[in-house]
Chain A
Amino acid sequence: GNSVTQMEGPVTLSEEAFLTINCTYTATGYPSLFWYVQYPGEGLQLLLKATKADDKGSNKGFEATYRKETTSFHLEKGSVQVSDSAVYFCAFITQGGSEKLVFGKGTKLTVNP
């Protein structure tokens, strides 16, 4: 069935460290891929997206590349800041019928000064 597997957290980094959060997916059809971020006490914000193979989504210094051959969409940032502390969710959506998002369990990131 459809599912998303994310790297388990929590992840704790020092400011300016390099971040990678791994994400792989199992989907029927050809999905569009997303990263959402959830700050404490808030709803989800769309961070970046990619809709076809080899597309690179980017926003606020975060990047992720749609790898169809490995069914992966890993999130990266070259230099994290304290303000990046949040929970990150990888998700996908497939067309046809209800266009529901399928989410991973989330990865909590804490960045220390």
Chain B
Amino acid sequence: DAGVTQSPTHLIKTRGQHVTLRCSPISGHKSVSWYQQVLGQGPQFIFQYYEKEERGRGNFPDRFSARQFPNYSSELNVNALLLGDSALYLCASSLDYYEQYFGPGTRLTVT
């Protein structure tokens, strides 16, 4: 079975630009969560979606938004990029609420 997939793998953006990251969950998983991992730190929770509804939001500014589609895939959008948004963005899917499986991540570099 395919695991969680994310695209793109890497991307480089300039300050002020917008970025869209994509995630496809494991087949049958209805919940998707997004995390930001800054170099040398543990992942920080950004959003969780279940059945296309937002179930939770971490302590991130409104420049961060997300949505989940009918096929349970998800997008994370970040507007007005800042240098501090440079990080590995991880998507995780889960069947139940607690066992989350992570994708390989998208490495975002903001210059």
B57 near A98 (CB under 8 angstroms)?
yes
Contact A43 B42 (CB under 8 A): no
Report which B residues bind A (CB closer than 8 A): 4, 31, 33, 35, 40-45, 48, 55-58, 88, 90, 92, 94, 97-105
Whether A46 pairs with B56 at a CB distance below 8 angstroms is no
Q: How far is the CB of B93 from chain A (nearest CB, A)?
A: 12
- Complex interface: chain A residues within 8 A of B99 (CB): 46, 49
20 A-B pairs, CB-CB below 8 angstroms? A36-B102, A43-B4, A43-B105, A44-B90, A44-B92, A46-B101, A46-B102, A49-B99, A93-B98, A97-B56, A98-B56, A98-B57, A99-B48, A99-B98, A100-B33, A100-B48, A100-B56, A101-B92, A103-B43, A106-B40
Which residue from B41, B58, B102, B103 sits with its C-beta under 8 Å from A100?
A: B58
Which partner residue on chain B sits nearest A95 by CB separation?
Answer: B97
Question: In the complex, which residues of chain B have a beta carbon less than 8 angstroms from the beta carbon of A99?
Answer: 31, 48, 55-56, 94, 97-98
Find out whether the CB atom of B43 lies under 8 angstroms from the CB atom of A101.
Answer: yes
| Closest A-B pairs by Cβ, 6 of them | A98-B56, A103-B42, A100-B45, A99-B97, A44-B102, A43-B104
Q: Roughly how many angstroms separate A103 CA and B35 CA in the complex, as a whole number?
A: 11
Q: Which residue of B lies closest to A51 (CB)?
A: B98
Whether A32 and B98, one on each chain, are in contact in the complex, defined by CB atoms closer than 8 angstroms, is yes
Total CB contacts across the A-B interface at under 8 A: 68
Q: Is the interface of A mostly helix, strand, loop or mixed?
A: strand
Across the interface, which residues of B come within 8 angstroms of A32, CB to CB? Answer: 98
Query: What are the residues of chain B within 8 A of A59 when measuring CB–CB?
Result: none
Shortest distance between the CB of A53 and any CB in chain B (Å): 16
Q: How near does chain B come to A94, taking the closest CB pair, in angstroms?
A: 9
Q: What's the least CB distance linking A97 to chain B, in Å?
A: 6
Residue with the highest number of chain B CB atoms closer than 10 Å, among A43, A45, A91, A93: A43
